[in-house]
């Protein structure tokens, strides 16, 4: 009877490649006719939202929208500040050899540098450098042998492996809506001049067939009060959210790598129950990039021999990944900052906002060192009649060491930074203290290899070789030898060696003395 392998399939998602490149935007923007001339640009907020990913001819076409919002001081206008917005469609073809439509593709945009230069009072020039990163994973079937049948005296060896496999990969939108009343001490709202929104205190949990997403939308709003055109008002709100995303097959024992971003927002003025314009109607659309991993343990067949034949084994080297580390580390930043001499003095701080970038990742023994920077904007009431508010921009560097026992240079890792909080307080008219918390969501996979049996064939025994083996042998165990190795070399069984030598369930070590009896029952020699 011929030998047959019984195999089991494990579907893996393996990295296929990634590319990183830069694209530039150089566009002029006219001030809308209904807006006054520009005197001074205070700040800008620019983001890129991905709208589509297509694959063709070994290329990944990434499409998106470049949103730019600008706050400025007007020239000869009664209102203290104005805003304007622009949307620029962008697309980039990224060469990726071997990419296919069935691959898992993720694309990320990051605005690395943004410069806005006034051309005249009615036109500005926008120059931006955008980093585009495309990551491609492919589905691979890993066939592992779990048993062999066909002969009664086949000796088999199994080893345990743990494979980390991607169980779920999907993108979902989650909408957050709320009606926010302004404090009674504030005047009615005439016009929303500027707002910043960000996700804070993110918390993600896996449930049975669901992903639970919690957090807070922090909203800072600058508006024109009803008491007059110079009535500049500021309010802050927090919008808690707690939602559930359906995700078939997941449970709380699995591991998640989930990114949540704001992709759309809309804020409108609404009347309260008394008909007063005192309510902000907020719609925020978030996008979740969900990946859920499970660890699967398998008992795989790693070696075979026969006491009645010579088994020829074909093997192939198979790569897989195990989960090495998943954690969320916190980096606290505390800096005292002096304003530049040309910046107007501070009278009151409205709020501070920022973005965070990771600039460099170094791998050392059992640890990862992350270096990055927080781009911080401080919006404050200025002691300047011509410019009642000002924005001071600065960079806050940070460094964080993440423990990762067993990490290697080629380990596959994802480190996602986010700002947990940002607070600032005045120390003087030209000095401010900033406190910021950066969260680093980290997941690291270790690359493993295993020689997997993918074919067996049995041939007649080499009788001359068998005759050359003594019937009984006194044997001293060598370095790195196991009972399996010894039994295979002497055409006997592991259990027989244990029984003759009164060995327990453990293995042998160097220097152990054994009696080995050749097992040739049923053979004609």
Q: For residues 253, 257, 263 and 268, what is the CA-based torsion angle, rounded to 10 degrees? A: 40
Last-in-domain residue among 78, 109, 138: 138
Give the separation between CA 308 and CA 306, rounded to whole angstroms: 5
Q: What is the pLDDT of residues 59-108, one digit of tens each?
A: 999 999 999 999 999 998 888 899 999 999 998 889 888 888 888 888 88
Give the separation between CA 412 and CA 404, rounded to whole angstroms: 12
In percent, the amount of the chain with pLDDT more than 90 equals: 60
Structure confidence at residue 520 as a pLDDT band (50, 70, 90): low
Look at residue 521 in the predicted model and tell me its pLDDT.
55
Structure confidence at residue 266 as a pLDDT band (50, 70, 90): very high
- If asked whether residues 235 and 105 sit together in one domain, one would say no
Look at residue 384 in the predicted model and tell me its pLDDT.
83
- If asked whether residues 408 and 376 sit together in one domain, one would say yes
- If asked whether residues 229 and 302 sit together in one domain, one would say yes
Query: Is residue 418 one of the residues assigned to a domain?
Result: yes
Distances (CA, A) of 281 to 185, 188, 249, 268, 269: 19, 14, 36, 5, 6
pLDDT at 1 over 70: no
Structure confidence at residue 229 as a pLDDT band (50, 70, 90): low
User: Average of pLDDT values for 161-181?
Assistant: 92
Per mean pLDDT, which range of 186-195, 313-322, 390-399, 513-522 is the poorest?
Answer: 513-522
- Give the residue among 479, 484, 487, 490 at the shortest CA–CA distance from 512: 479
- If asked whether residues 199 and 275 sit together in one domain, one would say yes
Structural domain including 506 reads 463-517
DSSP 3-state percent helix, strand, coil across the chain (nearest 5): 5, 70, 25
Cα atoms in the 13 Å half-sphere on the side-chain side of 29? 25
pLDDT at 524 over 70: no
Mean pLDDT of the chain: 90
Query: Is residue 25 one of the residues assigned to a domain?
Result: yes
- If asked whether residues 185 and 222 sit together in one domain, one would say yes
Instruction: Report the number of distinct structural domains present in the chain.
Output: 4
- If asked whether residues 155 and 292 sit together in one domain, one would say yes
Look at residue 174 in the predicted model and tell me its pLDDT.
96
Residue 311 near residue 457 (C-beta atoms within 8 A): yes
- If asked whether residues 448 and 496 sit together in one domain, one would say no
pLDDT at 307 over 60: yes
pLDDT at 525 over 50: no
User: Average of pLDDT values for 412-427?
Assistant: 92
- If asked whether residues 239 and 386 sit together in one domain, one would say no
What is the pTM (predicted TM-score) of this model? Answer: 0.84
Look at residue 323 in the predicted model and tell me its pLDDT.
93
From the number of C-beta atoms within 10 Å of its C-beta (0-12, 13-18, 19+), residue 443 rates as buried
Q: What is the pLDDT of residues 465-483, one digit of tens each?
A: 777 788 888 999 999 899 9
Query: Is residue 450 one of the residues assigned to a domain?
Result: yes
Structure confidence at residue 506 as a pLDDT band (50, 70, 90): confident
- If asked whether residues 357 and 453 sit together in one domain, one would say yes
Residue 121 near residue 75 (C-beta atoms within 8 A): yes
Query: Is residue 314 one of the residues assigned to a domain?
Result: no
Q: What is the pLDDT of residues 352-371, one digit of tens each?
A: 999 998 989 999 999 999 99
- If asked whether residues 130 and 166 sit together in one domain, one would say no
- If asked whether residues 333 and 407 sit together in one domain, one would say yes
- If asked whether residues 420 and 492 sit together in one domain, one would say no
Give the separation between CA 460 and CA 311, rounded to whole angstroms: 9
- Give the residue among 438, 69, 439 at the shortest CA–CA distance from 267: 69
Look at residue 522 in the predicted model and tell me its pLDDT.
47
């Amino acid at each position: 009877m011929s030998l047959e392998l019984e195999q089991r399939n494990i579907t893996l998602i393996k990295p296929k490649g990634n590319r990183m490149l830069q694209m530039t935007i150089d566009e002029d923007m006219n001030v809308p006719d209904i807006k006054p001339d520009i005197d001074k640009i205070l700040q800008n907020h620019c983001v890129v939202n991905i709208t589509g990913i297509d694959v063709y001819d070994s290329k990944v076409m990434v499409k998106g929208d470049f949103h730019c919002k600008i706050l400025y001081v007007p020239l000869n206008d009664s209102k203290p500040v104005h805003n304007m917005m622009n949307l620029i469609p962008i697309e980039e073809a990224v060469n990726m050899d071997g990419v296919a439509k069935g691959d898992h593709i993720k694309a990320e945009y990051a605005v690395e540098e943004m410069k806005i230069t006034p051309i005249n009072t009615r036109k500005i020039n926008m120059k931006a450098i955008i980093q585009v990163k495309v990551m491609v994973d492919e589905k691979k079937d890993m066939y592992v042998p779990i048993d062999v049948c066909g002969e009664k005296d086949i000796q088999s060896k199994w080893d345990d492996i743990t494979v980390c496999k991607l169980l779920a990969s999907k993108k979902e939108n989650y909408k957050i809506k709320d009606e926010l009343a302004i404090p009674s001490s504030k005047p009615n709202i005439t016009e929303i001049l500027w707002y910043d929104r960000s996700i804070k205190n993110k918390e993600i949990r896996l449930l049975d067939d669901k992903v639970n997403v919690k957090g807070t939308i922090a909203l800072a709003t600058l508006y024109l009060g009803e008491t007059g055109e110079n009535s500049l008002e500021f309010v802050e709100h927090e919008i808690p959210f707690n939602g559930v995303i359906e995700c078939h097959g997941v449970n709380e024992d699995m591991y998640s790598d989930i990114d949540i971003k704001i992709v759309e927002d809309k804020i409108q003025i609404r009347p309260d129950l008394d008909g007063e314009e005192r309510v902000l109607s907020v719609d925020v659309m978030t996008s979740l990039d969900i990946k859920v991993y499970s660890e699967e343990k398998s008992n795989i067949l790693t070696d075979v021999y026969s006491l009645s034949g010579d088994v020829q084994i074909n093997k192939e080297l198979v790569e897989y990944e195990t989960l090495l580390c998943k954690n969320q580390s916190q980096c606290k930043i505390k800096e005292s900052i002096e304003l530049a001499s040309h910046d107007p003095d501070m009278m009151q701080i409205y709020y501070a906002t920022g973005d965070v970038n990771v600039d460099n990742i170094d791998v050392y023994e059992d640890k990862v060192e992350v270096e990055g920077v927080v781009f911080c904007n401080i919006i404050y009431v200025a002691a300047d009649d011509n410019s009642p508010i000002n924005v001071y921009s600065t960079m806050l560097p940070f460094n964080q060491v993440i423990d990762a026992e067993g990490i290697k240079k080629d380990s596959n890792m994802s480190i996602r930074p986010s700002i947990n909080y940002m607070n600032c307080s005045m120390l003087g008219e030209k000095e401010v203290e900033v406190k910021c918390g950066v969260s680093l969501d980290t997941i690291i996979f270790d690359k493993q290899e295993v020689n997997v049996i993918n074919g067996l064939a049995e041939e007649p025994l080499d009788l001359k070789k068998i005759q050359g083996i003594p019937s009984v042998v006194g044997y001293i165990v060598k370095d790195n030898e196991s009972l399996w190795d010894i039994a295979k070399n002497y055409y006997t069984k592991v259990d027989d060696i244990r029984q003759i030598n009164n060995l327990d369930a453990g293995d042998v070590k160097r220097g152990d003395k054994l009696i080995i009896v050749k097992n040739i029952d049923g053979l004609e020699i």
